[in-house]
């Protein structure tokens, strides 16, 4: 895709529509000197600037059957009708008592409709611009602001989406509601407010989007949504791959927890009986991956059985600090946490049984038999090995790796006898004693590395970075110069891990979750 031309108009753009012949575009919003402009698609030279508007324009539309007619709605509660060319205001109406949020022409061009924050649905003549009537159904009306509307392909029905979490289909002729759906997908009414609607001309499916970013699809023949597509609407804070169950868990800044099926790509939001007190920033799971542990920003840890919605808070908290990592033992029932104040703690049977204090601990990982714990520490300059007492779980500081660079980014992962870590955006591999360096100088990322994982068989390493790349480091068995396979993203990558030896899942800061299969044998 190549950008052909760019137009800058004021502080924000609220709506943009094509003409019926696809030669011109109208764009409206909030500008310092103008609020709407019409220009040719192949150049930004203005054909016409909308005159007579004194406040921000919220919505616009073009009569695709008669290209010389456009309509706009602004924050002055005014709906203005223009004819051209050149485009001049023919008339304006003020039938809304609050903001008219959306205006749309019918496909046949005979009418247009406006919906607003006053819950009104108004119909107008598409040729003259004159007000016709308000669609009123006292028994089935919206009780909140209407933020979305669309016409059916036959120009006989109108769908509206409202902040009252409902989606309604209106008969344009009688003004009565023919179908109504109540959307309830999230933990609260705020998330389920409907802010946009679209009616597909071919399949006759209705799509409505909520404030949380959830897409709901309807047909007039069904009483419930025929499909629901979930996703993040804010930045992703933590990710956890449960490889045995083929599930990925992700949490965002709004405190939502999503469960992704790595086979189908479908997502489900986990609606808790009682919501988390704050957003979750670290996660871990037990060896059989039946239980997920969530560490929150308020220093509390919560337990969730996979497949349920009941959260159980552990009687463990770290007041005055936040978690930097959370990991579970591979063969023993121990949970390891680290904090921003340099505390390393081991939790067994819901109680802290051992702690250690280091400098600025950032990450932790146990070996296969849980006899050793590896952490990154000391302003991130070294990897430290602790032995874990088999009976008391006491931590004994054992050995510390040599400083190879001035800064360690705080990631460490263990596979059998190899300990991989990140130093100054380079991948470094030690043996389990931290005394010998097996590989060094794998430095191809240009920004901070955000995740580091071994493949299931330990043949490859996978890294993700804020440089919008994930890198698969191949042939890590003999620790020779690796064959890099890079995948570029459109946003910073916050997490990547192996589903299988040749398939990975990656999560971007924009909330996108991608499954990638490498065709080259690894």
Instruction: Check residues 261 and 31 and name the one with the higher pLDDT.
Output: 261
Q: Are residues 453 and 484 in the same domain?
A: yes
Q: Binning pLDDT at 50, 70 and 90, where does residue 146 land?
A: very high
Per the domain annotation, does 139 fall within a domain? Answer: yes
Provide the whole-model pTM.
0.80
Residue 53: CB partners within 8 Å, gap ≥ 6?
35, 36, 72, 74, 76, 80
Instruction: Check residues 102 and 457 and name the one with the higher pLDDT.
Output: 102
pLDDT over threshold 80, residue 338: yes
Q: What does pLDDT average to over the chain?
A: 86
pLDDT over threshold 70, residue 485: yes
Residue 2: CB partners within 8 Å, gap ≥ 6?
none
Mean pLDDT, rounded, for 220-224: 92
Q: Binning pLDDT at 50, 70 and 90, where does residue 366 land?
A: confident
Cα 62 to chain centroid, rounded: 32
| Residues 19 and 45: beta-carbon distance below 8 Å | no
Residue 35: CB partners within 8 Å, gap ≥ 6?
10, 28, 29, 50, 53, 55, 56, 57, 74
Q: Kind and range of the H or E element at 189?
A: helix 189-192
Task: Give me the pLDDT at residue 405, please.
Answer: 42
DSSP 8-state symbol, 403:
P
Per the domain annotation, does 207 fall within a domain? Answer: yes
Task: Give me the pLDDT at residue 408, please.
Answer: 40
Q: Are residues 223 and 160 in the same domain?
A: yes
Instruction: Check residues 161 and 462 and name the one with the higher pLDDT.
Output: 161
Of the residues 411, 443, 475, the one at which a domain ends: 443
- Which residues pair with residue 481 across a beta bridge? none
Tokens of 31: 């500008």
pLDDT over threshold 80, residue 91: yes
Per the domain annotation, does 310 fall within a domain? Answer: no
pLDDT over threshold 90, residue 242: yes
- Among 214, 322, 241, 267, smallest CA distance to 494 is for 241
Q: Binning pLDDT at 50, 70 and 90, where does residue 404 land?
A: very low
Q: Binning pLDDT at 50, 70 and 90, where does residue 34 land?
A: confident
Number of Cβ atoms within 10 Å of the Cβ of 45: 9
Task: Give me the pLDDT at residue 40, please.
Answer: 84
Q: Are residues 137 and 43 in the same domain?
A: yes
Per the domain annotation, does 362 fall within a domain? Answer: yes
Length of the chain: 522
Q: Are residues 220 and 331 in the same domain?
A: no
pLDDT over threshold 80, residue 432: no
Per the domain annotation, does 342 fall within a domain? Answer: yes
pLDDT over threshold 70, residue 123: yes
Give the span between the Cα atoms of 356 and 336, in whole angstroms.
Answer: 11
Per the domain annotation, does 379 fall within a domain? Answer: yes
pLDDT over threshold 60, residue 13: yes
Q: Are residues 425 and 515 in the same domain?
A: no
Cα torsion 375, 379, 382, 384 to 10°: value is: -30
pLDDT in tens, 285-304: 999 999 999 999 999 999 99
Q: Are residues 478 and 419 in the same domain?
A: no
Most confidently predicted of 357-361, 432-436, 478-482, 511-515: 511-515
| Residues 430 and 418: beta-carbon distance below 8 Å | yes
Task: Give me the pLDDT at residue 459, please.
Answer: 82
Q: State percent of the chain over pLDDT 70.
A: 93
Mean pLDDT, rounded, for 90-112: 95
Q: Are residues 186 and 63 in the same domain?
A: yes
Number of domains in the chain: 3
> Tokens 């931590």 identify what position?
395
Mean pLDDT, rounded, for 336-365: 86
Q: Is 221 helix (H, G, I), strand (E, B) or coil?
A: coil
Of the residues 425, 443, 461, the one at which a domain ends: 443
Q: Kind and range of the H or E element at 191?
A: helix 189-192
**131-152 exposure pattern, b = at least 16 Cβ within 10 A, e = fewer:** beeebebeeebbeebbbbbbbb
Q: Are residues 454 and 421 in the same domain?
A: no
Q: Binning pLDDT at 50, 70 and 90, where does residue 376 land?
A: confident
Task: Give me the pLDDT at residue 126, please.
Answer: 93
- Among 350, 392, 351, 345, smallest CA distance to 373 is for 345
Q: State percent of the chain over pLDDT 90.
A: 44
CATH number at residue 192: 2.130.10.10
Mean pLDDT, rounded, for 51-71: 90
DSSP 8-state symbol, 52:
S
pLDDT in tens, 488-500: 788 899 999 999 9
pLDDT over threshold 50, residue 308: yes
Per the domain annotation, does 290 fall within a domain? Answer: no
Q: Binning pLDDT at 50, 70 and 90, where does residue 205 land?
A: very high
Q: Binning pLDDT at 50, 70 and 90, where does residue 185 land?
A: low
Q: Are residues 140 and 60 in the same domain?
A: yes
Mean pLDDT, rounded, for 36-61: 84
Q: Are residues 383 and 499 in the same domain?
A: no
Give the span between the Cα atoms of 47 and 442, in whole angstroms.
Answer: 55
Instruction: Give the domain range for residue 195.
Output: 12-229
Tokens of 142: 């919206």
Longest CA span, the chain: 86
Q: Are residues 69 and 100 in the same domain?
A: yes
Of the residues 406, 422, 443, the one at which a domain ends: 443
Q: Are residues 454 and 376 in the same domain?
A: no
Mean pLDDT, rounded, for 249-258: 90
Give the span between the Cα atoms of 423 and 440, in whole angstroms.
Answer: 10
Task: Give me the pLDDT at residue 378, please.
Answer: 56
Task: Give me the pLDDT at residue 37, please.
Answer: 87
Per the domain annotation, does 127 fall within a domain? Answer: yes
């Amino acid at each position: 895709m190549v950008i052909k031309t760019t137009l800058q108009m004021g502080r924000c753009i609220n709506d943009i529509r094509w003409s019926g012949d696809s030669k011109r575009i109208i764009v409206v919003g909030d500008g310092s000197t103008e609020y709407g402009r019409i220009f040719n698609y192949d150049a930004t030279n203005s054909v016409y600037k909308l005159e007579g508007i004194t406040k921000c324009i919220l919505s616009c539309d073009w009569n695709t059957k008669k290209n010389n007619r456009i309509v706009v709605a602004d924050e002055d509660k005014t709906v203005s009708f223009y004819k051209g060319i050149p485009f001049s205001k023919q008339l304006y109406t003020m039938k809304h008592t609050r903001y008219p949020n959306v205006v749309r022409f019918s496909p046949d061009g005979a009418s247009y409709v406006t919906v607003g924050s006053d819950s009104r649905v108004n119909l107008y003549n598409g040729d003259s611009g004159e007000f016709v009537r308000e669609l009123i159904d006292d028994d089935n009306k919206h009780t909140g602001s209407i933020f979305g509307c669309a016409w059916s392909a036959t120009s006989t029905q109108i769908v509206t989406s409202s902040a009252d979490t409902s989606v309604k289909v209106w008969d344009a002729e009688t003004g009565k509601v023919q179908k109504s759906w109540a959307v309830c997908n999230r933990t609260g009414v705020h998330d389920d407010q409907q802010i946009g609607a679209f009616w597909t001309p071919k399949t006759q499916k209705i799509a409505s989007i909520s404030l949380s970013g959830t897409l709901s699809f309807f047909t007039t023949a069904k009483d419930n949504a025929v499909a629901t597509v979930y996703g993040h609407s804010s930045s992703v804070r933590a990710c956890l791959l449960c490889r045995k169950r083929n599930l990925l868990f992700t949490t965002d800044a709004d405190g939502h927890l999503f469960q992704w099926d790595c086979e189908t790509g479908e997502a489900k939001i986990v609606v808790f009986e009682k919501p988390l007190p704050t957003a979750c920033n670290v996660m871990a799971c037990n060896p059989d991956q039946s239980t997920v542990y969530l560490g929150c920003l308020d220093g509390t840890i919560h337990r969730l059985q996979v497949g349920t919605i009941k959260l159980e808070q552990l009687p463990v908290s770290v007041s005055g600090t936040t978690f930097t990592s959370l990991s579970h033992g591979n063969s023993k029932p121990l949970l390891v946490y680290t904090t921003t104040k340099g505390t390393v703690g081991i939790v067994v049977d819901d109680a802290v049984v051992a702690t250690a204090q280091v400098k600025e601990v950032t990450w932790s990982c146990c070996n296969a038999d849980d006899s050793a714990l590896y952490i990154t520490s000391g302003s991130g300059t070294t990897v430290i090995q602790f032995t874990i007492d088999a009976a008391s779980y006491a931590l004994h500081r054992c050995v510390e790796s040599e400083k190879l660079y001035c800064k360690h980014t705080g990631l460490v992962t263990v596979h059998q006898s190899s300990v991989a870590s990140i130093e100054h955006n380079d991948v470094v591999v030690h043996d389990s004693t931290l005394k010998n360096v097996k590989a060094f100088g794998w430095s191809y990322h240009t920004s901070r590395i955000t995740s580091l994982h071994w493949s299931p068989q330990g043949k490859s390493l996978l890294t993700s970075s804020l440089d919008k790349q994930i890198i698969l480091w191949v042939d890590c068995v003999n620790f020779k110069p690796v064959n890099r396979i890079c995948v570029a993203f459109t946003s910073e990558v916050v997490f990547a891990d192996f589903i299988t030896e040749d398939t990975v899942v990656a999560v971007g800061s924009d909330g996108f979750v991608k499954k990638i299969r490498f065709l080259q044998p690894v």
